[in-house]
Amino acid sequence: MAAVCVLLVLILLHKTDLCSSVAVSSTDAVLITVDQSGKGDYRRIQEAINAVASNNSELVYISIKPGIYREKIVVPADKPFITLSGTEGSNTTITWNDGGDIFDSPTFSVMASDFVARYLTIRNDFGTTGKGIALRVSADRAAFYGCQILSYQDTLLDDFGRHYYYNCYIEGATDFICGNAASLFESCQLHSLAKNLGTITAQHRNSPSENTGFTFLGCKITGLDGGTTLGRPWGPFSRVIYAHTYMSSAISPDGWQDWDDPRKERTVYYGEYKCYGPGADRSKRVRWSRELSRDESLPFLNKAMIGGRSWLRPTPVHFKKHVK
Q: Pairing between strand 108-110 and 182-186?
A: unpaired
Q: Residue 272 domain-assigned?
A: yes
Whole-number percent of the chain with pLDDT over 70: 92
In a domain, 42, yes or no: no
pLDDT for the residue numbered 30: 96
Question: What is the percentage of the chain residues whose pLDDT exceeds 90?
Answer: 84
Report if residue 255 sits inside a domain: yes
282: Cβ–Cβ under 8 A, 6 or more apart, which residues?
Answer: 255, 272, 289, 291
The total number of structural domains in the chain stands at: 1
**Residue 175 is a catalytic residue:** yes
Q: Is residue 218 part of a domain?
A: yes
Q: What residues contact residue 151 under an 8 Å CB cut-off, 6+ apart?
A: 123, 124, 126, 132, 133, 134, 171, 172, 176
Residue tagged active-site, from 175, 260, 281, 295: 175
pTM for this entry: 0.92
CA–CA dist 219, 241 (Å, integer): 11
- Residue 80 maps to a domain: no
Q: 185: domain range?
A: 161-312
In this structure, what DSSP letter does residue 37 have? T
- Segment 124-143, tens digit of pLDDT: 999 998 999 999 999 999 99
Summarize pLDDT for 82-91 with one digit per residue, the tens. Answer: 999 998 888 9
Residue 220 lies in a domain: yes
Does a structural domain hold residue 223? yes
Give the active site residue among 114, 154, 158, 159. 154
Is 140 labeled as catalytic in the residue annotation? Answer: no
Give the CATH number, domain containing residue 276: 2.160.20.10
Q: Is residue 144 part of a domain?
A: no
